[in-house]
Amino acid sequence: MGILSDFLVATSSDASLYASGPEAQLEKTLLSRISLAQYKHFTPVSLGSLWAILANEEWDVVRHEFIDESKPGEEESWLLRFPEPFVTFLTNASDQELASANAAWAATEELVCTPDELMPVTVDLQRLAREARTTGRALYLWGSL
């Protein structure tokens, strides 16, 4: 099955509710309050690589770390908030910058794919980052094994 990687724009409380499990993730009232893009196989490390690429920096475990909002004791899933600098890079990237970033990102050891396979992901991330910015909500990664 692999790693589930859901990107969502939500308030902190709605993100926490979404992270509470499958029942909440299917709740229509919650789904009406969040924006969602669902993928597989994206980890905080692979997303940190994209952040470093967009920032034209070498990846650093501390600098490119996400904000952990996981519930204590949860070991098979996680809820991480995208830091504002990463949201800014996603929001402001041009189409050419995204295409260039996809080429570099596809070449990282965390991913085994082509740049074209990453385009829907980066387009969704940019759309969600822009929505987070305009609505005052945050962009999250919910992941599960």
Q: In degrees to the nearest 10, what's the CA dihedral of 47, 138, 67, 90?
A: 30
CA distance 78 to 56: 27
Instruction: Record the tokens describing residue 12, joined without a space.
Output: 């902190």
CA distances from 47 to 13, 17, 78, 85 (A): 23, 23, 14, 13
Question: What's the pLDDT score for residue 75?
Answer: 78
Instruction: Record the tokens describing residue 46, joined without a space.
Output: 């692979």
In the chain, the N- to C-terminal Cα span, in Å, equals 8
Question: What's the pLDDT score for residue 1?
Answer: 53
CB 93 within 8 A of CB 101: yes
CA distance 107 to 21: 33
Instruction: Record the tokens describing residue 6, joined without a space.
Output: 């859901």
Question: What's the pLDDT score for residue 112?
Answer: 83
Position 80, amino acid: L
Instruction: Record the tokens describing residue 3, joined without a space.
Output: 């790693």
pLDDT by residue, tens only, the chain of 145 residues: 589 999 999 999 999 999 988 887 888 999 999 999 999 999 999 999 999 999 999 999 999 999 999 988 777 899 999 999 999 999 999 999 999 999 999 999 999 899 999 999 999 999 999 999 999 999 999 999 8
Instruction: Record the tokens describing residue 96, joined without a space.
Output: 């050419």
CA distance 27 to 84: 28
Please give the domain boundaries of the chain with CATH numbers for all domains. 4-144 (3.40.1760)
